[in-house]
A and B are shown apart, each in its own frame.
Chain A
Amino acid sequence: MTPLSVVGKSVLRRDARAKVLGREEFCIDRKLPGMLHAKVLGSPYPHATILAIDTSAAEKLPGVRCVVTEKNAPQKLTGTGTVRDMPLLAKGVARYIGEPVAAVAATTIEAAEEALELIKVEYEELPALFDVETAAGTNPPVIIHPDFSNYRKSTPRERLCPERPNVCAHIKIYKGDVDRGFQESELIVENRFVAPSIQHCALEPHAAVARPETDGGLTLFTGKQGISRVKEDIAAMFGIEAYKIRVKQQYVGGAFGGKATIYELIPALLALKCGRPVKWVMTREEVFVLGGPRQGMVLNIKDGFKKDGALVARKMEVFVDGGAYAEASPGVTQNCSSVAVCMYRVPHLKWDGYAVYTNTPKRRGMRGYGVNEVTFAIESNMDIAAEKLRMDSVELRRKNLLTEGEAMLNGEIIHSNAVAECLDKICQSIKLDEKSPSEGAWRKGKGVALGNKYSSPGSHYGARIAVTDNERVVVYHGADAIGQGVNTVMAQIAAEEFGISPDGVDIVFSDTAITPYFGHGSTSSRTTFNLGNAVRHACAAAKREIFERAGARLEAPPEIMALDNMEVYIPRHPDKKIEVRDLFTSDDAGEIVGTADYKADCIPDDPKTGQLDPALAQQGKRFMAFYAYAAKGVEVAVNTETGEVKVLRCHGAIDLGKAINPKSCEQQSEGGMAMGIGSALYEETLMENGRILNPSFTDYRVPLATQMPLNENMKSILVESAPHKDGPFGAKGFAEGVVTGMEPAIASAVYDAIGVRIKELPITPEKVLMALREK
């Protein structure tokens, strides 16, 4: 294999210059001629019948151009997941506090805000449900979607659960006979863990500008994850031909899963009604309510072990609070089960996951898509078991780890798994065996946990490469530049393929009228893997076209040619060569173009059992595109007087196959670990009777610079020893795996420090003190 010249180098990020100059145009900065501003009226009740809406006073307010309610909206239901259960604006009933009931477009933000106060809505309050386990019952006090059976859905029948009327999906992963497994076990460890709803807190609020076009179509400027999908959603909702919908964006000010939620239908509706562009920027408070926060889960886990530590059986029952509409919750409930499937060898598994409706804000998915919560339960339970077995917790993990070539618990054959190496490296680097002395009330402890994050195949992902007559290589792609550095990485990949500097590559991105289809968008850690492959294949196609053209000139077959620094040559005849720029004469066609589309080679599972077809699995067919494994090691200090927990050291090893841009990978890793510190110690969407109590950055605590370890104590270990056979240069995506495992590692370190185990996140001073008192 030829050595790589650009891939694997920490090329400076091409988006950084415009960003440090304040010149990057985010969606929130966009202004269009004639543009109006939107504001949205939310329901004040968590569950209520809407008896009447009077918009007449609001409509008369100077500056107001349009007021919409469900009466002006298409009557179709939407949903960005498997169930179409959500009206564009609440229709007849509101199911959560803040659910959009009406919207206004006005010439100024102030007029739009004033108009909201003039809209009169008559409600009749209904009993509401907030507790996920109560809601999931077979005889719940309230049924949140009485029409559920009539909704359009793509959920297989086996994953519906009519006996639990508020459950929108029941995911089953069954292997072996779990009851027999527990009978054969010599130790059973059973616990309940809780992970709350948390918030993405991308710094740019959700924003969109919708512009009606003269042909009846619509252009949407947005800042989201998944431009191809929102195009389809808008076309379906308004019955407009998809080719008349254009979705464009530039750089997005952070996303973390929250911007995959659909919010653009409201400005689109207003724009179509007013015939003018309409901009909607959510307030920070609205982002907390409408931005699709993380679900929140209750996880019951029961593990059976042999005395030697071998796992025999595992039973998990997971209740996923999806809020008032299904959105991504069925998908989260399915995909988070991968943690139970792809890491440890367990002969008998019974996983029952329930995606549940409650009268709380609808959820989307957050970085990890449920995996972090499940990992918290599994890894914490492994620690608890190790102590009961009088085994070292690292040894217990090692003993049960699945390895390359083994079958996962769904039958999928493991490929590209460096979890054991991640574990070893973390144990060494955090010096797990060396205990630091306490300082006054501060007790110190260390903890290690494993994690992994799958990447779902989703859909297909395209790329187009153009080579221009001035020898620029242009990459066209439809992925989302959400801060991960996609454009730098794709420029590196294209540069590598053409043997040029990344400075010779231009990127045109995120515009459905120009750039190729990009399936489910930049979610599920998929961009490097899927788009990287598409770019490589598209480069190969463009090079074939170059060789075809050169072949006619050099009178040689294209197969024997090579390309270096934009010169075509024939290795066996060094005198025969032609520069690419000379392939654009009148005899040749114009631009040289190569296109490619990538779809991971995956198959669905059996909805009754979560198992893959064994014959296909043996042939190497996978359920997920790939899995990135991880290990985290932390040292904490716990104050026994105040209950405060500080993370002193934080080391993460990530099994990413190949670091295309190592410094960019470190960025992801450091940011991911920070997010994990936040969810372990600080973050929780506090709700009371369906109302979010802390929808601001003062009351909802995102980690600040002083809450992070000092730089010398932050360490990212990029593990490249298990390249993926289908990954571009062996690379896997890892932007979620860098978070996973932080919560259990911190919980374990707290236990090591003070001997109390917190099973409900976040690990607040109050919980620590209570637990210390009970000890």
Chain B
Amino acid sequence: MKQLVTLRINDTDEEIYVEPWWTLSYVLREELNLTGTKEGCNGGHCGACTVLIDGKAVMSCLYLAMKAQGKEILTIEGLKGHNGPLHPLQEAFIEHFAVQCGYCTPGLIMTAKAMLDENPNPTEEEVREGLNGNVCRCTGYTKIVEAILSVAEKQKL
């Protein structure tokens, strides 16, 4: 049976009725129209649905919406504040040509944010290791890795 829950998404409380088996990605996309979070496999294998929960990268297609109560959920839509500038990762993905079809992009950016928050100064190998939960079929990852490393480099300054 549906239950009323409050989900804190992108600094806003959303009250919503959810079935106990609904995943967070389903609720984000189908109930709240936050379609920036993508679904590529619904099995936790492609990373397109990655969001941050309490700062950690999570595959939202495997995460039950009910479980997210009381936690801070950050999606791609909340990464840049209203009218604010782009997040440095968003800037870097544009500047470094890290975007092709763009379907994996939101998930990759969220994964990269969690990665850099935890380890602001990663090696290339660490960046690649950190991206292993995200599939990109277009780019071969070269320019994505370059974009992420450039943000880490700038943060050092």
Contacts and interface: CB of A to CB of B under 8 A. Distances in A.
Contact of B142 (A485, A670, A698): A670
A251 B97 contact: no
A475 to B, nearest CB: 20
Contacts of A697: 40-41, 43, 45-46, 135
**In the complex, which range does the number of interface residues on chain B fall in?**
35 or more
Contact of B139 (A20, A670, A704): A670
Interface stretch (B1-9, B65-73, B101-109): B101-109
A711 B146 contact: yes
Interface in A651-672: 663-664, 666-667, 670-672
Interface stretch (A10-18, A307-315, A537-545): A10-18
B76 interface: yes
B64 interface: no
A251 B101 CA distance: 7
A134 B86 CA distance: 58
A371 interface: no
A674 B75 contact: no
Given A12-B94, A203-B46, A675 B129 contact: no
A697 to B, nearest CB: 4
B35 A706 contact: no
A680 to B, nearest CB: 13
Contacts, number: 177
A292 interface: no
B36 A202 contact: no
Contacts of B89: 20
B128 A705 contact: yes
B13 interface: no
B105 A20 contact: yes
Interface in B84-133: 86, 89-90, 93-95, 97, 99-106, 109, 124-125, 127-129, 131-132
Contacts of B95: 12
Contacts of A283: 42
A725 interface: no
A670 B89 CA distance: 21
Given A12-B95, A20-B94, A710-B124, A253 B140 contact: no
Given A20-B99, A20-B105, A667-B100, A696 B41 contact: yes
Interface string A622-647: 00000000000000000000000000
Nearest to B89: A20
A710 B91 CA distance: 22
B86 A671 contact: no
B76 A22 contact: yes
A167 interface: no
A671 B137 contact: yes
A533 to B, nearest CB: 24
Interface stretch (A25-33, A38-46, A569-577, A761-769): A25-33
Contact of A13 (B38, B97, B109): B97
Interface string A167-210: 00000000000000000000000000000000011111100000
Interface of A: 10, 12-13, 15-26, 28-29, 31, 200-205, 251-256, 283-284, 482-485, 663-664, 666-667, 670-675, 696-698, 702-706, 708, 710-711, 714
The 7 A-B residue pairs whose C-beta atoms are closest, nearest first, are A22-B36, A483-B101, A19-B102, A253-B103, A674-B140, A22-B76, A697-B45
Given A20-B102, A704-B135, 8 more contacts: A15-B99, A28-B38, A28-B39, A203-B38, A203-B40, A485-B100, A667-B97, A675-B140
